[in-house]
Structure 1
Amino acid sequence: MDAKFLYFLSFNFSIFIFTVAFTPQDNCLIISGSSKDNVLIDNRLFIGDLSKKISGYLSEGKSFAVKNPSTSSNSSGLHSSARIFTSASSYRFKIKNVGTHLVRLHFYPFVYGNYDLRNGNFSVLANGLYLLSNFGVESPVMKEFFLMVDKFGLDIMFLPSNFAFVNGIEVFSVPKDLFLDDDDEIPLISDNGIQEFNNITSYVLETVYRVNVGGSIITPFNDTLWRTWIPDEDFLVLKSASKVITTLVPPNYQPGGANRDHAPDNVYMTAREMNVANGSWTLFNITWDFPVSSEDDTYFVRLHFCDIVSVSLNMLYFDIYINGIIAYKDVDLSVLAFHELASPYYIDFVVKNKKDSDVVRISVGPSELSTLRKNAILNGVEIMRIVNVVVPRQKFVMKRIWILVVCVVGGFFALSLSVLAIFAVFKYRKRKQKPRRTESGTISEGITLASPGSFGYYGWKIPFADIQLATKNFDKNLIIGSGGFGVVYKGVLTDNNKVAVKRGVPGSRQGLPEFQTEITVLSRIRHCHLVSLIGYCEEQSEMILVYEYMDKGTLRQHLYGSNSSPLSWKQRLEICIGAARGLHYLHTGFAQGIIHRDIKSTNILLDENYIAKVADFGLSRSGPCLNESHVSTGVKGSFGYLDPEYFRRQQLTDKSDVYSFGVVLLEVLCSKPAVDPLREQLNLAEWAMEWIKKGLVMKIVDPRLVGQIKPSCLKKFGETAEKCLSEYAVDRPTMGDVLWNLERAYQLQMNEQENEQDEMGSRRVVPEVPSMNVDANAENNRGNSEVSTSGVFSQLITRKGR
C-alpha cells in the first residue's frame, strides 16, 4: 500500500480521537463592534461588545463600532466588525482566577469610510505592560500572549498614534501546570554557554511559532486550549535527513509528564526521526530553522517528545542542539517519561539570540550512548518571544514603596519566627518523625539524624561544589551509564573514595518523587547486597544522588552486548544468590516490606569481587499492610520484566518482584535480553518458557556455558525460574523460597551433599517450592512460606565453609 495513503489514513483516524476541552474559570470572548449574542466560533460562544447581555467592558476613551462593508449583514465571524479607537481606550475584564492568562487579539483590516485599517499605528498594553508597540497590520493576523494576572482585573489598553482598531479579543485562564513554577530554573542558551533563567511566569510571552512536527495542521477545534499547530516542512533545513513516523495508538500520558493541555494527542502521535537506511550508521542531525526578528531578542522554546519509535525502553538516546550549542546531552525518554513508552514529555529552554541573527536553529541528533540503532526524534516545537516589560514610572515608584514596607514587616516577622524556631529545636530535637505515605504512595518515613534538612537527612548532604570537583564538572568522559532519572558519572570525592554520581535533569523537578523515594529507602536500609547511598545534593535546583562505586558495572553488560569476558556458571549462580538475598531483605526486613518494582539486569550491579548488589530504588513502594493482600497503584517498571498480573489488575505485591527476578534468571542462563528488538521483539520469558516446559532447558543455555553446568543444578535452576514466571502471583514462590532453591542449585553444582540441618541443629528447614502442576490449594496447605523465611536468610553449610 502506498506510504502516503497510509499516512493519510493514520492522520485522519487520529483527528477523531475525543479531546476534552479545558474549562477556564475566566473566559471572556469578545467580538469588537458587534451587537450579536452567542456567536459560535471554534465550538465556543463569543459575544459582541455591544450586546445587551454584557456591560462594562469598555471603560474609558473614545471609540466607535464599524461594520465590514465587504461582508453581509448576517455575517457573524470575527472579521465582520471592528472597534476603532481615536484616543487611549481600554477594555476592562473582571478576573476570578489570579494566575497565568492567555490573551488573543484578532486583527482583520478593512476599509470603512475614511478609515483604512491597514494604516492604523498603535500600541497595546495589558495592566500597564506593553504587548505591542508601534504596531500596524496590513493583512489578517492574530497575536497571542501569555501573561500573569496578579489582581482581580485586567485592563487591555489601545494607545493610538493615529488610530487603533481590533476585531476580537479572547481572555481566559490557562491550566496551572502549563508553565513551570516561579522557583523552577530553565536552561538559558546563549553565546556565553548555558546559564539559568528564573521566574518564566513573571514575563509576557508572545507566541511566534507552534509547530506539529511530522504532522498536518491542527485547528483550534482539536486543541484543548484552541490553538493552531502548523506543519514543520517549511522549516526543515534538509528534508531528506528525516522521515515521518506516525502511530494510531493514543499517547500514554503519565502524572507529572505532559498532558493534553501542553499539546494535543496528534502532536504526540506524529514525529520525525532520522532517515537512516537499514544497516547504515551515518551520523547526522535533523535541523529546523525558524525565522525570527534580527533584534537582540530572547525566546522561550518548548520541545515536545513522545517515543513512538522504540519497541522497548532504553533504546533511544539523542542530543538536542539550539543555535549550534548542545543544549541537552544524552536525552533518555525512558527515564524522563517515567519508564513508559509513548509517554509525552516536554523540555523547556530560554534562548538568547544575538543581534543580527534572524533564525532560531533547533537540531536533534544521535547520542554517543546509542548502542543498537542511532536515532533522534522530535514531535513538536513552540517558540515564544519574551516581551520586554515596560512599567509606567508611577507604578514603579509605588512598587518600590510597597517593597520597602514588605521588607520591614517581613524582617520583623522572620526574626520572630527564628526565635520560635530555635526554641522549638531545643524542645523537640529528640522527637522522631512519624512514618507517613506520600500522595503518590511512595515510601516517606522520617529518619532520625543529627540535624534534619528539607528531607530530614541533613547529615547526608554533599555540597554541589564537591560533586563538581569529584566529576571534573560532569565531564562527559566520566559517564558510565544512564539510569533511574538521569546520567551517571564516575567520581572521586575529596576523601579519595570512588563514587557513582547520578544527576537528574538540571533545573527540572519532574523526577522529584523518585529522588525523594531513593533517599528515603536507602537512608534507612543497609545490606551487603544492596547498593549504599553515600549522600545527595539538592542545591541550585539540582537533584543528585551519590552511591558507592561498583567497579564491574551492571550484570547486563557481562551477559551480552559487551566485550567483557563471559561470567562462569559458578559466578552467575553466586550473583543470582546475592541479588536474591538483597531482595529477600527488602521484602521481609520491615513490617510492610519494600517492593522494588524495577528489578532487571541493569539494576543489579557488581563490585570489584563480582558481589551482586540491587540498585535503583526510585520506583520502590512500601508493601501492603498486614490486613491487605496488595497495593493498588499505577503500573511502573520496565518492558519485558513486568508482572503480567500486575499489568492487568494494577495490584502490586512482592510477587511482582519475583516475576521480574525470574526474567533476570533467564537472562543469566541464556545471555539474551528481556526483549530483543533485533529479533522481531522477541520476549525472552515467553520464548524460554516454551523450552523449559518441554524439558529442553539445555537448548536455551548460553553456548559459552556448555559443559560447565551439572544436569541436577540446571534442572533446579530451570524449575526455579519457571515458578517465578508463573502467570498468577499465588503460584509464585516468595523470595525466601527462591533464595533457598538457588542455594540448593549451587550445592548441586559444587557436588555437595544436601544438608537440611546445620551442625548445631538450629537451622530451620525451608520447604521446597511446589511444582507448577500442583493446584492452588497446595500452596495454601503447605503453610505461609513468607513467615517461615522472613526472619533469617537461608544459608547452606558446606564442607568448604561457604
Structure 2
Amino acid sequence: MNSDTQILFSIFFFSLTLSNIACVLSQGTQSDSNSYVLACGASSDGTDSNDRKWTSDSKFLTNSGNSITATAQSQDSSLPSTIPYMTARIFKSTSSYKFTVSSKDRFWLRLHFYPASYGNLDPSNAYFSVNANGFTLLNNFSASITAKALTQAYIVREFSLVPAQSGDLIITFTPSSDHKDSYAFVNGIEVIPMPDIFGSAPLVGFSDQSVEVNSSTLQTMYRLNVGGKFIPSTNDSGLTRTWYDDSPYLFGAAFGVTSQADNKTKIEYPSNLSQEIAPLSVYETARSMGPDPNVNRNYNLTWIFQIDANFTYIVRFHFCEILLTKINQRVFDIFINNQTAQEGADVIGWAGEQGVPVYKDYAIYAEDLPGDDELWVALHPSVSMHPEYYDAILNGLEIFKQNDTMGNLAGPNPVPSAMLLHAEATKKKFAPSSSRSKTVVHVIGGVAGGVFGIAVATAIIFYVSNKKKNNDGSRCSTSSWLPLYGTSHTTGKSTGTGKSTSSHLTNLAAGLCRHFSLAEIKHGTRNFSESHVIGVGGFGKVYEGYIDGKTKVAIKRSNPSSEQGVHEFQTEIEMLSKLRHKHLVSLIGFCEEDGEMILVYDHMANGTLREHLYKGDKPGLPWKQRLEICIGAARGLHYLHTGARYTIIHRDVKTTNILLDEKWEAKVSDFGLSKTGPNLNQTHVSTMVKGSFGYLDPEYFRRQQLTEKSDVYSFGVVLFEVLCARPALNVNLPKEQVSLADWALHCQRMGTIEDIIDPNLKGNITDQCLRKFTETAEKCLSDQGIDRPSMGDVLWNLEFALQLQDNPDGDKLISIQTDKANDTYAMHKAMLNIDEESVLSDEIDTSNTTDIFSQIVNPKGR
C-alpha cells in the first residue's frame, strides 16, 4: 500500500468512524439514584440498539408549554439508533429542565443533537444557548454548522459539572435573539454521577503556579486512545466514555510506530490510581517515535488540535511502559504549544515498573488572539539525560476546556473547511434530479456515513487530483483533508513554470529589501528541514537558516491555510521595508514564489523579553538591564510615532514583541497589525479592534478609534510586566488580580506597589527610581488617551529613572539629570529628523546577525 493509498484509507476510515460512532452510553440506569437518560420529545420510554433504556423527558420540564415535540423527517444511515435521535424537543422561547442530583458529586452532562428537518423547521435556523446552573455551555450554537464542519450526522457534547450545592440541576435552552426564526432543540440528555477524577494541574510556563481543576466545570474536547483503536463507551472503565483513534491528529508524516502489550505484559493499576481514570485497553497500546535514534533526535512526535481561544485547557497524558523495564531507558520532554510542560519524563521512573499505568495533567492558557485556535502537543527525546534509547511514548490523551472567570465554556461555531464547501458546491451543481438523486444519496450514505457522504467522496477525489510533485522530488499538496494546512495563498499569480509573476507587493518592496528566490530559501534551510525549525506561530513555522552561505537569519514561512497570514505578510513587508532603526527588528527580505509567503529577518540571539521575565527557564534580568531594555523599546516606538515619514501605530506592543540581540539591545518586532496613523486633520484612525488582550487600550476598545496613545497604554502594561515579572493576564489569580494593569494601578494608588514587584528585584531598586518608574507606568495606563504621555515623554522619564538608579541622591541631581535627559531627548529627536532614505542606507547592518524573532519562544498569532 503506497503512501497516497494509506492517507486516503486513513481519511475514509476516520470519516466512517466519525459517522458511525455508537451513542454515548451510561452505566447508570433510570433506577440509579440521581441518574437520568432522556429521549427528548419521545411520548414514551424506549430502548436503543444497545438495549439501553431512555425515558421520556416530559416530566422534567419546568415549563412544558413553551416547547413542542417533533419527529425527524429523515433518518441518516449513520445514526446508531432511532432512540434518542429521531425525536426532538423544540423550544421557541426560553425553557428549562430540572433534575435532582447529589450535592456532593460531580456528574457528566451529555447533550445529543441531530440537526435534521423537524416539521417545517429549517435546521439552519437553529441557533441557541444552553446554560446549566449558571455555567454557559453553548452560546449561539448551531448544530447544523457544527455537524457539517465535522462531517458528522449528529453531535454529542460532554461536560463534567461541579457538584450542585442546591441539589438541583437546571438546564436552560434559549433561542438566539440574533437570528430570525431561531429555535432551540435537543434530542437526548444524560445526567450521570461520576467520581471526582480531577485535582490540580501545573500551569505550563509558570513554574510556581497550578490550576485547581476539581473546582471547575469542564468540556471534553478530545479523548484519544493513542496508538490504539476506537474504544466504544461500552468498553470504558465505568465512566462510559468514548475513546477515538489519534492518527487523524498527528502532524505531518511523522506517525511514529504503534505497539501493543503482549500476553506476558500484565497491566495492573497501582493502589493510588483509580481504575476509572482510563480503561485497560488504553494502557495496552502505545505510540512511540521509532527505532532510529538519529531520526528521533531531529523531530518531534506531534499532534495538533483545533481549540477555542481565551480558555485554559487541561491536557491529560496517559502513560504505561509496555516494552522497557528500567529507569533512564526512555526519557523524553513534553511540550504544549511550544512551551516545556515536562522535562525528563521517564514512565518507569514515575510508575516504578513495567505495566503500571500513570497519568499526568498540565494546564495551559490559550490567548484570545487570531491564529491561536490550535493546541500543539509534542514529545521529543531528552538528549541531555543520555537515555539508553532516544525515544518517547504515549498511550492516551485527553483535553478538557475549563470554564473562564465568567463561568463560560462556549466557543464559536466551527468553520467548514474550504475543501468541504467546494465539495458541497460541486454536489449541488451536478446533483441529478428527482428519484435518481435520492437513490444516489442513499447508496453513498450507506457507505460513507449519510448525507455528507458525497462531500467526503468528492473531497477525497479533489485531494488526489491536487497531489503533485515538487521539482526536488518531494511531495506537496495544495489542499488537505484534515484541518492542518489548506489551500495555499499567494500575492502573485502562478505561472506554468512554477514561478509566480511579479505582484504589486513585489514592485512596492523592490529596492527596499531583498527578494529571495525559493531555491535560495530551500538551500538555506536544507529544504525546510524539520531539524531547522526553531518555532511555530500563527503565521507558520520559523526556521533557522543561512543566506549567502554564511549570514545566519530567521526565516518565517507561512502556513498556507492562514488568511490572516496573507494580510500580515503584506503589512510586514510594506511597513518594515521602509523602516530602519537601531531599536526595530530588521527585515532582510522576502520570497513569494510557488504559493509560498516567506519573510527573512535578522536573528535575535537572546529571544523575547518575556522569556527572561517569566515565560522560560532563563535566568532573570537585573533591574538596570530591564530598565535599559525598556528605554530601547521606548526609543523604537517613539521613532514609529514621530520619526518615520508617517505616524505608525504598532497596535500589538507586548513583551513577546520586544526582542533582544546578542548585546541585549531591545528591538520592537512584528508589524503585522500596524497601521498608519492619522494625518494633520485627524485625531484618530477608525478601525476594527485588534491586538492582545491584557494590553488593549480600553478607549480604543470602546470607541474603535486608534491613536498612538494606544501604543502608550500597551507599553504601560509592559512596564509593569517588567517590574512584576507576571503576565498581563493570569486567570488563575483572584478576580481583582487577573488583569495586571488593573491590579498594578490599584496597588500604586494604595501605596502597596512594592508588595507585587518581582521578588528578585526587592532591595535592588532605589526608592527614587522606583517612584519615577511606577509613576510613568501609571500615567501610561490612564483611561483616556489625552491624559497619557507621549512616547517621547515616556522615554524622557525612563532615562530619568535610569539616572536615579545610578545616582540615588536624586534631590541634588535633579537639575543635572534634567539637562542630561533633555540632551538625550534632543539628540534622539535630531536623529529622527534624518532623511528616511539616508536611514535606509546607513543604519542597516546585515552583519549584526541575531537569533530568534517575535514568535519563536511563545509562538502565538494575533
TM-score bracket, normalised by the shorter chain, equals 0.3 to 0.5
Greater helix percent: which structure?
Answer: 2
**Which structure has the greater CA radius of gyration?**
1
Q: State the structure with bigger RCO (CA 8 A, min sep 6), 1 or 2.
A: 2
TM-score normalised according to structure 2 size = 0.44
